Amino acid sequence: MPTPRRTSQEEIVTVARDILERHGPAHLTMQAVAERVGVRAPSLYKRVRNRDDLLRLATEATIRDLSEELHAIDATGDPRRVLGDLARTIRAFAHARPHGYHLVFTNASAAARPDPALLAEAAAPVLNLAAVLAGPEHALEAARTITAWTHGFISMELAGAFNLGGDVESAYEFGVDRLADALAR
């Protein structure tokens, strides 16, 4: 009798993220992933505890990817340029992976929440820049302001909520410039 096909957690997460981005979180099920990796759903439970665990793993993989992109930005030189680079990187990432991006900011069940250390690592470039712009004593507040503004703008953009016309690209750049002005010491 042939040995049943095996799958790795890495393959499961890759497929889960693909399903997530193609079809949205409602379609990310253990059954859908099992079908795509070529195993029966009960076999997934050897690698992933449940759907919450699957969501956590997909979210953590997304955070690692975003973190890698943010850490790749040259953080030396003009902090206004760095803020623009960070903001544009976050926006491009969100457009490329909108469902995964939104999972990062979702208030999920405890079992589906990502490791706080991963979030802290991803936030480090924003925190470091915030300390340069607003001073170390206001770094956290400034980083939260940057994150809240970029996420709010991006969420509205992805939802098609800018209905008054105008150039959304220009509006984003305008906001980034004003953030830099507001946060500068």
Look at residue 160 and tell me whether its pLDDT is greater than 90: yes
Q: Identify the CATH number of the domain in which residue 131 sits.
A: 1.10.357.10
Q: Among the residues of 24-135, which ranges form H helices? A: 30-37, 41-44, 51-71, 79-96, 98-104, 116-134
**pLDDT class for 169, splitting at 50, 70, 90?**
very high
Same domain as 73, residue 10: no
pLDDT at 5: 62
pLDDT at 1: 37
Higher-scoring residue by pLDDT: 1, 144: 144
pLDDT at 6: 80
Same domain as 33, residue 107: no
Same domain as 90, residue 43: no
Closest CA to 150 of 120, 117, 183: 183
Cα–Cα separations (whole angstroms), residue 62 to 19, 149, 165: 13, 20, 32
Q: Identify the CATH number of the domain in which residue 41 sits.
A: 1.10.10.60
Total domain count, the chain: 2
Same domain as 158, residue 75: yes
Look at residue 162 and tell me whether its pLDDT is greater than 90: yes
Question: Is 132 a member of any domain?
Answer: yes
Dihedrals phi, psi of 97, to nearest 5 degrees = -135, 65
Question: Is 40 a member of any domain?
Answer: yes
**pLDDT class for 3, splitting at 50, 70, 90?**
very low
pLDDT at 166: 94
**6 is in which domain, residue-wise?**
1-48
